A and B are shown apart, each in its own frame.
Chain A
Amino acid sequence: MYEKILKKYPPDQENLIYILHEIQDSNPQNFVPEEAITVVSEYLKISAAHIHGVLTFYSMFSTAPRGRNVIRLCESPPCFLKGSEKILRKLRDLLQVKIGETTKDGIFTLELCACLGVCGNAPVMMINEDIYADLTEEKVEKIIAEIKGRA
């Protein structure tokens, strides 16, 4: 099942991070499963330990299943100054999860992250590849409801 992804890249170590991104993105639970590591290790001829090392080094990779939508709320100072704490409280309330947890229905995982580079419109969060900025509690409520509605 990973062949389609692997075929796109020549078997060079420099493509490891790309391959891992694609595997994670194509997984409905947003993570890189153990069996994928074995396959990639064989394809790139590098050890599974090395791949593990890379996976755990970069914060965007997960080796445990996550929700279909990964919410990454910025916790850096410019967002904090603009009230990211309130947004976090709202998200926890709405989703009934703690940081790093996935909702029971598997729709959301709540994570914190460092600056997303949209600080001019703080507070900011990213859900999958989409940026949501100038967040207010009401806005967050709408965004979550909308994504839930789509699921």
Chain B
Amino acid sequence: MSFTIKVGLASCGRAAGAVEVYEAIDKYLSKNKIKAELKKTACIGMCFSEPLVEFVAEDGSSITYGKVKPVEIPELIKQFNNRSPIKNNIILSNHLKGSENTNLNNQVRIALRNCGNINPESLDDYLANKGYQSLEKVLNEMSQEEVIEEIKKSGLRGRGGAGFPTGLKWSFALQAENKKKYVVCNADEGDPGAFMDRSVLEGDPHSIIEGMAICAYAIGADEGYIYCRAEYPLAIKHLKKAIKDAESAGYLGHKILGKNFSFKVHIKEGAGAFVCGEETALMASIEGQRGMPRIRPPFPATSGLWGKPTNINNVETLANIAWIILNGSAEYSKFGTEKSKGTKVFALAGKIKNSGLIEVPMGMPLRNVIYDVGGGMLTDKPFKAVQLGGPSGGCIPEKLLDTIVDYDSITKTGAIMGSGGMVVMDTSTCMVDVAKFFLNFTQNESCGKCTFCRIGTKRMLEILTRITEGKGKMEDIDTLENLAENIIKGSLCGLGQTAPNPVLTTLRYFRDEYIEHIMNKKCPAGVCTSLIKFEVIEDKCVGCTACARKCPVNCISGEVKKIHKIDQDKCIKCGVCLETCKFDAIKKS
């Protein structure tokens, strides 16, 4: 009997110990002479259960185990062979018996089609899954215009944040007259809470290369750059291997597949600057400059890298291309809403059970995304808000959870689709604090070119800090709104233009919370340290000294069997005493 064992070795898996699991399986198989194929794959999206091991039987039925430990390997293999794999860490199964997880059932996987299924370091694996068939189809059967028409008809919009129609963008680059043109892949993913691009880069690098090659053919480019943030070393490693393999197999390079089309791809690494995700800043960075955005127009399609016409697309956008060409635009636009076609990958993070990556058809209500696909809240604390679109986005409250995911509906709430990060928050989150956090991020990452973005965000941050410290005034709210308006108007690039969104949406939906901080000097969620206090409830304290021993700043005094006391001047409000006390004798107010 032969079967296959796949281990997810993406960054998330590795961090959870997947390499050790892989090695344990390898050792066990060879030691016991078990005939099974051991395969490396990347992330299937269930980051919440890493390390993940999938067993695939000869008939294709499979079972996936989550949170696998190296010591469990012999038992899992034995159980699989006996076909009775009922064990509590089963998280997914199709035919074999086991508790089902609906996580994958509600998904439609197009951009993520190969992630977690194939070995990203194997060109053969990609080819066995229809890899490079679209490129062949394009080169053999389609004119440049036909390719662009097909992408236009699919309705695909850019997944990098702005949602610009991809086919239209390509047509501009085709129209630009120049012998030299470039294709750029934006792999600088930097929105806090977004990791869809990392997963595709790590898990299916050839799909990006194929998408870029099709784009290059369509617009008449012969050179491409992938700009990847340096924080993604595994993605860079996989990309480098994929480019080399594609070159050797003739899918990249001179006269590809014997046709009159040549295309080579380079990788460039960033060095830790969020603003380099903005397209003009990104191109400046590729050229070896400081990554500062510049005024558009001219748009990259007319003047991009080294002044040449350039088409720039996001990783996820490009990952859809080959699928659309192969299956047809009609098949793609079957999914989605009138103005947002196809599927979208979302990164679920925060206080959600199934944190990880999912891909669902556009038009699914947020509620279903969070509760059905995402598995609902992590703890029994109820839902409070979901932050969409990272630092450029906004917080959507419970009452708007029936909003569907498409560009226009999300924008109406004051948030944006952005790159697809969804940060779920429960009632233990302070919304003023969250707004402050996101603004702190944009403030840090502002390149400093525009005064409003540089100074305006700083002023807003100061005000928010004041409010969270209980020193806010009611006028501060007006000032925040004023500053926000001016920053939006006075900034050159999307960073400044969207930076106030987290503040504006929390002011819109959680204004009461701001007012509570200002008027009553209270943080309703009990987060803002200046506004909370930890005290010992004397009736309940038994003097066990547990809290005093755990306190990181030694601010709790009291002898054994005597009532303890917290020194309020020294207390840093970390809450360790509250967590430690077994007698509910610590009160937070």
> Interface on A for B, CB 8 Å cutoff?
12-18, 20-21, 44, 46, 53-54, 57-61, 76-78, 80-82, 85-86, 89, 93, 113-122, 124, 126, 129, 131-134
- Evaluate contact between B191 and A115: CB separation under 8 angstroms: yes
- Evaluate contact between A118 and B273: CB separation under 8 angstroms: no
B444 CB-CB contact with A under 8 Å: yes
Q: What are 18 A-B interface contacts by the 8 Å CB criterion? A: A13-B289, A17-B270, A17-B285, A18-B268, A54-B289, A58-B271, A58-B272, A77-B387, A78-B349, A119-B355, A120-B347, A120-B355, A121-B47, A121-B50, A124-B15, A129-B233, A132-B15, A133-B16
Neighbouring A residues of B495 by C-beta, 8 Å? none
- Measured in the bound complex, the distance between the Cα atoms of B444 and A118 in whole Å is 20
- Evaluate contact between B195 and A119: CB separation under 8 angstroms: yes
**Closest Cβ neighbor of A19 among chain B residues:** B288
- Evaluate contact between A119 and B271: CB separation under 8 angstroms: no
Contact residue among B47, B231, B274, B434 (Cβ-Cβ distance under 8 Å from A120): B47
Shortest distance from the beta carbon of A25 to any chain B beta carbon, whole Å: 10
**Closest Cβ neighbor of B579 among chain A residues:** A86
- Measured in the bound complex, the distance between the Cα atoms of B50 and A134 in whole Å is 10
- Evaluate contact between B425 and A81: CB separation under 8 angstroms: yes
How many A-B residue pairs lie within 8 Å, measured between CB atoms? Answer: 148
- Evaluate contact between B423 and A81: CB separation under 8 angstroms: yes
Decide yes or no: A115 and B194 within 8 Å by CB, A13-B287, A57-B290, A131-B15 being known contacts. Answer: yes
B198 CB-CB contact with A under 8 Å: yes
Decide yes or no: A53 and B290 within 8 Å by CB, A59-B271, A81-B425, A89-B552 being known contacts. Answer: yes
- Measured in the bound complex, the distance between the Cα atoms of B14 and A82 in whole Å is 19
Interface size on B, residues (CB 8 A): 58
- Measured in the bound complex, the distance between the Cα atoms of B191 and A116 in whole Å is 9
Neighbouring B residues of A60 by C-beta, 8 Å? 230, 271-272
- Evaluate contact between A17 and B288: CB separation under 8 angstroms: yes
Contact residue among A18, A59, A133 (Cβ-Cβ distance under 8 Å from B269): A18
Shortest distance from the beta carbon of B24 to any chain A beta carbon, whole Å: 19
Query: What 10 A-B pairs have minimum CB-CB distances, sorted nearest first?
Result: A120-B47, A76-B192, A58-B271, A133-B15, A60-B272, A59-B272, A115-B192, A16-B288, A119-B349, A13-B288
**Closest Cβ neighbor of B502 among chain A residues:** A77
B291 CB-CB contact with A under 8 Å: yes
- Evaluate contact between B290 and A78: CB separation under 8 angstroms: no
Neighbouring A residues of B421 by C-beta, 8 Å? 78, 119
Shortest distance from the beta carbon of B78 to any chain A beta carbon, whole Å: 28
- Evaluate contact between B438 and A117: CB separation under 8 angstroms: no
- Evaluate contact between A120 and B288: CB separation under 8 angstroms: no
- Measured in the bound complex, the distance between the Cα atoms of B43 and A121 in whole Å is 12
Neighbouring B residues of A57 by C-beta, 8 Å? 273, 290-291, 447
Neighbouring A residues of B272 by C-beta, 8 Å? 58-61, 113
- Evaluate contact between A77 and B438: CB separation under 8 angstroms: yes
Neighbouring A residues of B289 by C-beta, 8 Å? 13, 54
Shortest distance from the beta carbon of A77 to any chain B beta carbon, whole Å: 5
Neighbouring B residues of A131 by C-beta, 8 Å? 11, 14-15
Within 8 A of A (CB), among B13-64: 14-16, 47-48, 50
**Closest Cβ neighbor of B225 among chain A residues:** A14
Within 8 A of A (CB), among B80-135: none
**Closest Cβ neighbor of A135 among chain B residues:** B15
Interface centre among B232, B268, B272, B425 (most CB of A within 10 A): B272
Neighbouring B residues of A116 by C-beta, 8 Å? 231
**Closest Cβ neighbor of B291 among chain A residues:** A57
Shortest distance from the beta carbon of A9 to any chain B beta carbon, whole Å: 11
Within 8 A of A (CB), among B231-252: 231-233
Neighbouring B residues of A129 by C-beta, 8 Å? 233
